[in-house]
Amino acid sequence: MSMLEPVHKVLQATGHDAIALVPGANFLRVFGKDFHQMERPLVVVVPKSGVPVAVVPNLELGSFAPIGFPGEVFDWRDEDGYMGAFKAAGAALPQLAKGARVGVEGQRMRVFDLLALQEVLSGVTFVDAHAAISAIRLCKTLEEIAALREAIKRSEVALEATLMQVKVGMTEKEVEAILLSELFRAGCDGLSFDPIVAAGDNAAKPHASARADYHIKAGDALLFDFGGRYNHFSADITRTFFVGHVSDHDLAFYDTVLAANTKGREISRPGMTASDVDDEVCKVLERSQFAAFKRHKTGHGLGLDVHEAPQIMRGNNQVLEPGMVFTIEPGLYRDGEAGVRIEDDVVVTENGIESLTMFPRELRVIG
Ligand code: GLY
Ligand code: MN
Ligand code: MN
C-alpha cells in the first residue's frame, strides 16, 4: 500500500485536483514523521495524477530522506530563500493549471506557505480542506489506541505521585514543577500541552496558567488539566480536587459536574451524533442550580492533536463510529471563586464507549 493512499482517498472524496500538506498531525499520519513548524516552509503537494512534489529546507534533507517520499524533492538553503524551490516545484506540477483546485489544511498551513504556493501556481484556487484531510485520523487503529492508553496510564501515575506531594502553602508553580517531573519519571515522551495547575480563583479560568505568587490554601479547588505524550499520542485529563476541606456549596458544585461527566460516559454510543452527546451533557449543567457557570462544550476529538475532530458540540452532526476518541469534559466556573472540570478520554466501541482514563472521579480532599 502506498503511503499516499489516505491522501488519494481525500482527493477522491473531495474532487480536488491536489492536496497540500504541511508538518503537523496529518503529515505525521501520512508520512510517519513530523517536522517543526518554523520560519522555514516545508510543503508537500500531492496531485490527483502525476508526481507529488515536496519543498524542503536543505538542513532537513537528512531527516526527510528516510520518509521515502514518492515524488520530487526541491530543497532550498537559507542564503537563497525558499521561492526558487517553490518555483521549481510549481513548474513540476503543470497539471495544476488555471481553474484547478488545491485543498489545504486551513487550520495548519501558515499564510506565507499559502502565499508561496499561490505565487507559483497562478490561476489555481486554494480551498480549505482541513476537515476532509483530518478525517483520515478520525477512527483510530488498535495500535493508535494502545499508544493513547499508554499515554493516559503514565499520566495518571504522574498525577497520583504529584498529589502525594501537594501541601497547603505551595505555589501553583511548585505543584506544576512536581507534575512535570512526575510525567517524565512515569516515562512520557513529552507533554500534550503546557499543563494547567490552577487553585482557588484561578481554577475558574478554564485555561489558566500556574502562578508563582499564589500559595494554595485550605478550601481551594485545585484543578489539574494535563497530559503526557506517548508514541506521538496525547493524553488530556482533568481532575479537580479540594485542599484540606470542602464546603457543602462546593460539594454540590462538584457533584453537578460529575453528574454531567457520568451522563456523557453513560449515553455515548456509535450512531449518536456529537451534537446529541453535547446536548445531553449540557442539559445536566443547564438544569442545575449552577447553570450560569457553564462556559464551554462537552469535548473534542483526541489523538495526534490534542483538539481534533470530532468536536463534541451542539450543531455537529458527525455520527460517532467505533474507533473515534474524544473527551468528555464538562466544567463549571464561578468567576473569582472556584472552578471544577472533570475530563475523561473515551473511545467509541461497538456498543458504547470505553473510558481510557481510569483515575477516580469521586471528590477527593487532598493535602
Ligand atoms: N478545556 C475546555 C475546552 O477547551 O473546551
Ligand atoms: Mn484538558
Ligand atoms: Mn480537553
Q: Sorting pLDDT into bands at 50, 70 and 90, what band is 363? A: very high
Out of 297, 312, 345, mutate this one to test ligand 1's pocket (max ligand atoms within 8 Å of CB): namely 297
Report the pLDDT value the prediction gives residue 140, as an integer from 0 to 100.
Answer: 98
| Domain end residue (candidates: 137, 157, 190) | 137
Distance of alpha carbon 191 from alpha carbon 346, whole angstroms? 19
Please, are residues 2 and 120 in contact by the beta-carbon 8 Å criterion?
A: no
Query: Any idea which ligand is nearest the CA of 327?
Result: 3
Same domain, 80 and 93: yes
Q: How far is the CA of 366 from the centre of ligand 1 (A)?
A: 25
Distance 235 CA to ligand 3 centre (A): 9
Q: Specify whether 308 is located in the same domain as 223.
A: yes
CA 47 to chain centre: 28
Instruction: State the pLDDT at residue 367.
Output: 87
The atom number, within ligand 1, closest to the CA of 296 reads 5
**Which strands sit side by side in the sheet containing 221-226, from one edge to the other?**
196-199, 221-226, 237-243, 365-366
Span 132-154, mean pLDDT?
98
Q: Please report which ligand is nearest the Cα atom of 302.
A: 3
* CA neighbor of 170 nearest in space, from 214, 128, 140, 208: 214
Query: How far is ligand 1, taken at its centre, from the CA of residue 197, in Å?
Result: 14
Ligand in closest contact with the CA of 206: 1
What is the structure's pLDDT at 279? Answer: 98
b/e burial code for range 83-95 (CB count within 10 A of at least 16 → b):
eebbebbbebbee
Write down the residue that cell numbers 501537594 correspond to: 166
Residue 54: predicted pLDDT: 98
* Three cell numbers written together for 122: 497562478
Residue 133's pLDDT is: 98
Q: How much distance in Å is there from the Cα of 363 to the middle of ligand 3?
A: 20
Ligand 1 atom at minimal distance to the Cα of residue 331: 2
User: Same domain for 266 and 284?
Assistant: yes
Task: Give the mean pLDDT of 21-31.
Answer: 98
Query: 4 pLDDT band (50/70/90 cuts)?
Result: very high
The per-residue pLDDT for 81 is 98
Nearest to 127 by CA among 155, 146, 99: 99
Segment 22-33 mean pLDDT: 98
* Ligand 1 atom, smallest distance to 300 CA: 5
Q: Which of 137, 152, 180 is the last residue of a domain?
A: 137
Q: For ligand 1, atom 5, which residue shows the shortest CA distance?
A: 296
Distance CA 199, CA 337 (A): 10
> From CA 184, how far away is CA 169, in angstroms rounded?
25
Percent of the chain with pLDDT over 70: 100
Measured in Å, residue 302 CA sits from the centre of ligand 2 at 10
Same domain, 177 and 259: yes
CA distance 5 to 31: 11
Q: How far, in Å, CA of 221 to CA of 250, rounded?
A: 9
d(Cα 191, Cα 174) in Å, to the nearest integer?
17
Angle between helices 142-163 and 172-185 (to 10 degrees): 130
Question: Band of the pLDDT at 1, cuts 50, 70, 90?
Answer: confident
- Provide the CATH number for the domain around residue 28: 3.40.350.10
Report the sign of the C-alpha dihedral through residues 107, 25, 66, 63, in that order. Answer: positive
Question: Which pLDDT score is estimated for 192?
Answer: 98
Confidence bin at 159 (pLDDT 50/70/90): very high
| 204 and 349 housed in the same domain | yes
**Contact criterion met (CB below 8 Å) for 240 and 365:** no
- Positive or negative: CA dihedral 312, 317, 320, 324: negative
Q: What is the DSSP letter of 24?
A: T
Within 8 A by CB and 6+ apart from 176, the residues are 195, 197, 210
Clarify whether residues 130 and 149 are in a common domain. Answer: no
Distance 220 CA to ligand 3 centre (A): 22
Count: domains in the chain: 2
Return the ligand number nearest the Cα of 207: 1
Residue 88 scores a pLDDT above 80? yes
- CA distances to 247, 252, 300, 360 from 343, rounded to whole Å, are 22, 18, 11, 11
Question: 218 and 338: one domain?
Answer: yes
Pocket test for ligand 1, best of 312, 326, 329 (most atoms within 8 A of CB): 329
Distance 225 CA to ligand 2 centre (A): 5
**Burial of 292 from C-beta contacts in 10 A (0-12 / 13-18 / 19+):** exposed
Which residue's CA is the nearest one to ligand 1's atom 3?
296
Ligand 1 pocket check: which of 192, 193, 207 to mutate, most ligand atoms within 8 Å of Cβ? 207
Pocket of ligand 1 (CB under 6 A): 206, 296-297, 329
pTM score: 0.96
- What is the whole-number distance in angstroms between the Cα of residue 343 and the centre of ligand 1? 10
- Tell me: pLDDT of 148 over 90: yes
Which of 4, 306, 316 has its CA nearest to residue 131?
316
Using the atom order of ligand 1, give the atom closest to the CA of residue 297. Answer: 5
Q: What is the pLDDT of residues 191-245, one digit of tens each?
A: 999 999 999 999 999 999 999 999 999 999 999 999 999 999 999 999 999 999 9
| Mean pLDDT of all residues belonging to the chain | 98
Domain that includes residue 104, residue range: 5-137
- My answer on whether 326 and 184 are in the same domain is yes
Domain endpoint, select from 93, 120, 137: 137
Q: Are residues 294 and 345 in the same domain?
A: yes
Which atom belonging to ligand 1 lies closest to the Cα atom of 238? 1
Q: Residue 284 maps to which CATH number?
A: 3.90.230.10
For residue 76, the cross-strand partners are: 57
Q: Hey, which of 300, 302, 340 would you mutate to test ligand 1's pocket, going by the most ligand atoms within 8 Å of its Cβ? A: 300
Positive/negative CA dihedral, 79, 82, 83, 88 = positive
Question: Rounded to the nearest whole angstrom, what is the distance from the C-alpha of residue 238 to the centroid of ligand 2?
Answer: 5
Verify that 185 and 66 share a domain, yes or no. no
The secondary structure element, H or E, covering residue 45 is: strand 43-47
Q: Are strands 344-348 and 325-328 parallel, antiparallel or unpaired?
A: antiparallel
